[in-house]
């Protein structure tokens, strides 16, 4: 799969500095991917759920180097954790067209995190659980199983 309009190439040192700044160890599959593709728009952009519905990946967030006015992965993580919208250890790596996140935890499992489902009547922990949908796959499986628009529409 190809990623277009990503950020400048990252080094292992760049990623090490980011991990230190975030006080997290990123899953190895994710690190390897980011060494090849620093964010960008995937050529295959639909994740098909078990019920046949789909999630649309608008773009993968770059690390270190923002592209245009967008936030980097680390900026997004730090901002969302500071606002207590995302719990610590759940790292946003991509967004959909509604501003919701695709996230990975430090164990390597991928989640869809629907921040547009936040409910002011619930406390933060309840919202964290309500807005999080486990996709049940690793980072590499997630990327490999994205499909093209045409394949989804058939």
Domain count, the chain: 1
pLDDT in tens, 48-94: 998 888 999 999 999 998 877 789 999 999 999 999 999 999 999 99
CA distance linking residue 64 with residue 17, whole number of Å: 9
Provide the pLDDT for residue 154: 42
Residue 105, beta-bridge partner list: 90
Buried-state track 35-54, b at ≥16 Cβ within 10 A, e below 16 = eebbbbbbebbbbeeeeeee
Provide the residue range defining the domain that includes 109.
3-153
Give the contacts of 35 (CB within 8 A, at least 6 positions apart): 9, 10, 11, 12, 15
CATH of the domain at 39: 3.40.1580.10
Provide the pLDDT for residue 88: 93
Q: What is the mean pLDDT of the chain?
A: 91
Note whether 130 and 119 are within 8 A (CB).
Answer: yes
Residue 14 has pLDDT above 80, yes or no: yes
Percent of the chain at pLDDT exceeding 90: 71
Residue 151 has pLDDT above 70, yes or no: no
This prediction's pTM = 0.90
Q: Is 75 helix (H, G, I), strand (E, B) or coil?
A: helix
Provide the pLDDT for residue 119: 87
Provide the pLDDT for residue 60: 95
């Amino acid at each position: 799969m190809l990623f277009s309009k990503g950020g400048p190439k990252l080094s292992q040192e760049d990623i090490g500095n980011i991990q230190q700044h975030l006080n997290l160890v990123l899953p190895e599959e994710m690190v390897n991917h980011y060494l090849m593709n620093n964010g960008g728009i995937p050529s295959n952009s639909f994740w098909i759920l078990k019920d046949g519905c789909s999630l649309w990946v608008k773009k993968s967030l770059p690390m270190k180097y923002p592209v245009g006015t967008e936030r980097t992965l680390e900026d997004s993580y730090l901002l969302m954790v500071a606002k207590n919208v995302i719990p610590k250890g759940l790292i946003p790596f991509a967004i959909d067209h509604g501003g919701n996140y695709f996230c990975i935890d430090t164990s390597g499992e991928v989640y869809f995190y629907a921040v547009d489902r936040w409910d002011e009547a619930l406390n933060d922990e309840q919202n964290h659980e309500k807005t999080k949908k486990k996709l049940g796959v690793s980072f590499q499986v997630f990327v490999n199983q994205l499909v093209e628009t045409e394949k989804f529409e058939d």
